[in-house]
Each structure stands twice: as structure tokens, then as C-alpha cells.
Structure 1
């Protein structure tokens, strides 16, 4: 009968083989990656997320600087490639979206090649030590992003991941505040939208997404509004660590959603409780307004026990933790150095 040490040695050997295989396929600086038409020299890495690495490289054939997104998971790669092929029908200059050049396989990785951009708006704020932008600077950014979102709506695409580190400056020295929208890894078409989909990064998540209501391109407009608030205030507009606190901030700022919306939401029960003074409608159904899950109400709930329990419940189901990891941890198409630029722990002082 084989000994325990024999099994341990086998497991160690298997692990070592797996690690060696992973290491042999790892892309390193000065590696040359070849597609069917071009060769790319990797010059530096700009960040790494859950789904892959972002690198700066040079197209040796054209002597052109490019950005490469090197993806680990095949499923993730297929989804992003599908969306990039849809978005590629847009004019990248006129519609302010990143230009996608090509895709190819390198060993076990799928590589996506983009135009090289400068830096994300999040990085810009880090360099500015979190000083807000002036309205005169925000205005052209707004116009360009509205153009991009209008173009996406025209082809039936919802970006669903608007945040400061997915908006890149093209070249801040030569074209101040010329921006482009990047990272379509979490995008989808309006034909594929489903009620209750968990989308958008916390702090930039539309209330209809949080409550589990039907969604549309309007969630991108909400995300844009939150981005513009960030540019003007230099803080995240709503909580980025807890979905309950984020919804509380929305109610505190804009008021409670209408009762018919709360009644229709799949996830309303995680944030609101029914009013105890309910009456029955003529058809026998309960009527009455929903109230926040707190004895004190949302506006006066700094540390309510009900609120803490609700927040814990949401985090336990993964709504706040897992979805935030997907949205914040995914490597951007790094048309610059923004792969980890939006980490909540790196946020501006006073971020909620």
C-alpha cells in the first residue's frame, strides 16, 4: 500500500508541473509576441487584474507603440472579443472610443492589441493630489463621453463599467482633456440584457441595478453622472465598499425611489422594509410604502443595527464583495497604465 509520503510526493510533482507550465507560458518584458501580421515587443507592464495583464509594447513591423491586453481566461477573452468586434464599427476618433487593432493567441493567452493612450482620469487625479477639475475642464470631457455613449446606444451596446479608470486621456500634453472610453470586457448588447443582472462598480452603480429592476442604456448615463461628480468633487459620489451604504447615499442625496419601483425590484428587500401601516387594496393586495431597513430611516442612520445586518447580508451573498471585485479588479485594455488605478483602497481622501 502506498505511503502517505508517496501521495504527498505525487501531489508536489503535479503542482510543480502545473507551476512550470504556467511559468513557461508567462509573458515577460522583452518577449516578442507574434500575430499573423505583426510582431510585438513587450517593453513594460502597466498593471494586472483578475483577468489578465496590461502591457505597453511596440509593433516592430510598423514601429508603432501599442497597448496589449493579455488575457488569462478563454471565456473572458471570447466575451470581450465579441463586444470589441461590435464596437469596432464605430469611428474611434469621432466617437471617442479606444481603437482596437487585432487579436491573436500567444501560447495559452489571448492577446488584444489597442492604440496606446496616455493615462486614466483616476491616475490624473492621483497626480493632482485629488484636486478637483474646473467646470471648464469637465465640460469637454462630458461632451466627448456623451458622444461615445450615444454612439454605443446607436449600436445597441451597454458599457456597464463606467468609472474614472475606464476613461483615458489620449495625450494630455498635446491634447488636454481629449478622452476615450475603454474596457468593453463587461459590456453587453441590449438584446442580452436581463432583469436582475449584477453590473457596474459600486459607487457608480445605478439604483435600478441595485434594486433588481429592468435595465437599459440609462445605467450608463447614471455612471457618467457619477463620474462627473467625481471630477468636480474629487471623491467617489457614493460608497464603494458596501452596496447597502451606497443605496443609503443615493436615498440621502436624491430621495427614496417611488413605491411602485421598490415593489417591482427583485432585491428591494435587502435595502427596504415594508411599512407596518399597510392597507389592503380593493383587489386584496397589500398597499403601503416601503421604508428603509432602519428604525431611524436612511437619512439618520449612522450606525443602525438593522443597517449593519442588512449590509452584512448583502456582503455575505457576494453582491457587494464579488461584484466589486469583478468591476474593480478586471484589467482595463491598458491603453495606458490604469489596470489597478481604480482600486477602492487607493481612493481619494474622504471617499465614502
Structure 2
């Protein structure tokens, strides 16, 4: 059955795991060189690590926190669920034993301190303090990552639309202050809570000003790494748009778009965008990745009874614009927010964009591609936060190809309300 946006408790039963999900679930090897170096040193010094026990108290500037369960562990530190003493507030505290690493993440959070975290779908930061020579960063507590959701469910296109709009708003806010996140991936996008389509972008440990990004900077993990990063070319905020495009492709296809064992394999798959070309040039069969964006429509169509061809074609058009090889021609956050897939104008015959028909041939000469003139994004109030009216799309389904029927299939029109 199709699940409409009133809830985010997806069907976990009868969800077969495709081969492509094996690499989605194994994320230990998907790290930057900097991550791997730090993880190696941490293994060597594991016995010397700062011990945090359940029930222990951490004294911060804004209050005392009681340590609860361990939520996660990475190459840079551990995250605990904590309870603020004297209140009902629950927070997530990230503990980093390396002072330099803690200082860098705190510095990154200061870059975005003037952005509204709720309006722009960014993780809320409360405070930073030191405890026993460890740095403690206090954040709002969120639910589970899209990585975890993807391993258990199929995403319908209306859910992907909701996630896409919120991520575009986040990128738009970051671009407005000239900041690059630099580590957008499934693990770093979390649902705010259960029974919600609201998400937030987390982990700004690699964030920095775009004008300080140097060529050859070690940034992004391989499945979400932009071609200009792999090739050591000039970098800017557009690398985040590539990463979001790769994330949306993962949600749609339930697998990485390109092979990601090595950067060489990734680039080779980008150069050879069809299965026939890949096999002809490498003498290998395509196994667990899809390089033909148009071909994945059928894969997704087979998973759901309700399917609107126009909606899926418009989504693929958006993906092609996000995964444009030349970062100068790559779609911007404001343009993405005005794309038909987000505005849903194509469902009522108001489409304003011409389909993008360019193939995804990454290493072809970077000549400027003439595209359509984009409409300017207009918002009301303080900005476009992006949201879905959860009461729409939950009524009895109509028959026939009417606009109402198509809205039932594709989800409600997005507007400025809360997803929760």
C-alpha cells in the first residue's frame, strides 16, 4: 500500500534487500583520507580514551547534563543521549577527545550561528564546553538517519520531494553566507522525529567558507564526491548540490549511483554512462550501480502501484541538473527550489522548464551548456522553509487522470507549513 505524508513510519515488512544495498549499509570504508587517518590513530589509543559512563554528570555553561545511552560513534568522537538536569529537555552531546578537532567543529558551528536552524533545516547547536580535557558539543536530539531508513524501506517519490525541498532550503541558506558543508551524505541527514517527514542536516565538522576551499582539499566521501573534488579542480558551494543529488538518487534507486570502491572506478563509471559502454570499455558487467538516470525510472515504477510518468520524468530532469559535470552549469539551490519537481506545476499543466536531455558524460570537455532561462524564486515572509500539508493526500483515492488523482499519487503541493 502507498503511505501518504501523515506519517513517516514506513513499511518495513516485505522489503527485499537488493544487491545495491550491501554497499549502502557498509559505511566503515566510506571515509575521507582524513577520517581514515584519525580512525587509525584512535584505534591505537583506544585504551587511553576518555571514559563516559551512563548516569555520569557533565557540567556545561547552560546547565548540568546526565549521560544516557550511546547514540553513535565515529572517527572523531562519540555522541550520547543526555538529559538536562532540572528540566525535561533531552539533548545530544558529541564528545571529542582531541581538542583541535573539537575547536574546528565549534568554529564551523560559529559560521552558521546567524542562520535559523528550524527555518533552514539545520541541526540546532546549544553550547560548547570542556570536560576532563575533552570537548563537548551540545546539539538538539533528532531521530534516525536516512541511511538507517533506506536499509529498511522503499521511499515513494512524494517523500523524496519533501526531503529534496528541505535540503535545497538548507543549501540556499548556506550559500547565502558563502559556506560549504562538505560532508553531505545519508548518515548526515536525520529525521527530526518519528511520524514526520521533516529532516535536518547535521555534522558541520568539515564546513568552511567557500573562498577558503583549496584545490585538492580532502572532502566528501566517495559515493557523494563531486567530480571536481576527485580531479583536484577549483571548488565552491556547488559540491554540496552534487552531494544532495547523489543522496536523492540513492533514495530513489536504493543504491549508489556509481561504484565507490575507488575514485578511479567512480570516475570511470561517470565517463561511461550506459551499461553497454561500461561493459564494452571495461569488459565488466554492471553489477550494483546505475549510471543511466533515465533507466532507473522503470526500477522505481515497478515498486509502486501508483506511478505518474510526468512526475518521475521531472524528477530525473532535476537529478540531471544537480549532477551536471560543470559546476558552473550545475543547478543552484534557488533554481532547484523553483524547479517543477518542487513546485509541482507540471501536474497542473503549468510546467515552466524544458526537459534536460544531456547525458551524464562527466569527463567530456567542460564547455558551457545553454540552458533555459530560470524563473526567479519568490517567497513571502522571511523565506521559503519548505513544507508539506500533511492533511492533503490522505483522503480516499479518486479514479481517473484528474489533477486531484495525480496529487493523490504524487503527494500534496509543497508550501510554507511545518512537516511535523
With normalisation by structure 1, the TM-score equals: 0.65
- Aligned pair partner of 1:63 in 88, 96, 101: 88
The separation in 1 between residues aligned to 2:136 and 2:266, in whole angstroms, is 35
- Answer yes or no: is the 8 Å Cα contact 1:83–1:185 preserved in 2: yes
Superposition RMSD in Å: 2.2
Any idea what SS the aligned residue of 2:273 has? Answer: helix
- The answer to whether residue 115 in structure 2 is matched with residue 90 in structure 1 is yes
Which residue of structure 2 aligns with residue 191 of structure 1?
Answer: 211
1:233-252 paired onto structure 2 within 5 Å: 233-252=253-272
Which residue of structure 1 aligns with residue 282 of structure 2?
Answer: 301
The separation in 2 between residues aligned to 1:127 and 1:70, in whole angstroms, is 29
- Answer yes or no: is the 8 Å Cα contact 1:193–1:215 preserved in 2: yes
The separation in 2 between residues aligned to 1:87 and 1:254, in whole angstroms, is 40
Q: Deviations over 1:170-190 (max 9, x none)?
A: 0132xx210000000011111
Compute the displacement of 1:63 (Å): 2.1
The separation in 2 between residues aligned to 1:69 and 1:233, in whole angstroms, is 32
Q: What residue ranges of structure 2 are gaps of 5+ in the alignment?
A: 1-44, 286-420
- The answer to whether residue 163 in structure 2 is matched with residue 154 in structure 1 is no
Any idea what SS the aligned residue of 1:91 has? Answer: coil
Count of residues paired in the alignment:
240
Structure 1 residue ranges (4+ consecutive) displaced by more than 6 angstroms after TM superposition:
none
Compute the displacement of 1:299 (Å): 5.6
- Answer yes or no: is the 8 Å Cα contact 1:172–1:178 preserved in 2: no
- Answer yes or no: is the 8 Å Cα contact 2:78–2:94 preserved in 1: yes
Change (3 A) 1:68 1:254: farther
> Between Structure 1 and Structure 2, whose CA radius of gyration is higher?
1
1:1-352 paired onto structure 2 within 5 Å: 22=48, 25-128=50-153, 131=154, 133-173=155-195, 176-253=196-273, 300-302=281-283
The separation in 2 between residues aligned to 1:246 and 1:172, in whole angstroms, is 35
More strand by share: 1
Any idea what SS the aligned residue of 2:162 has? Answer: helix
The separation in 2 between residues aligned to 1:114 and 1:297, in whole angstroms, is 45
The separation in 2 between residues aligned to 1:162 and 1:298, in whole angstroms, is 30
The separation in 2 between residues aligned to 1:300 and 1:194, in whole angstroms, is 33
Change (3 A) 1:302 1:40: farther
* Structure ranking higher on relative contact order (CA contacts 8 Å, 6+ apart): 1
Any idea what SS the aligned residue of 1:177 has? Answer: coil
With normalisation by structure 2, the TM-score equals: 0.54
The separation in 2 between residues aligned to 1:95 and 1:137, in whole angstroms, is 18
Change (3 A) 1:81 1:299: farther
Any idea what SS the aligned residue of 2:151 has? Answer: helix
The separation in 1 between residues aligned to 2:283 and 2:128, in whole angstroms, is 49
Q: What residue ranges of structure 1 are gaps of 5+ in the alignment?
A: 1-17, 256-295, 305-352
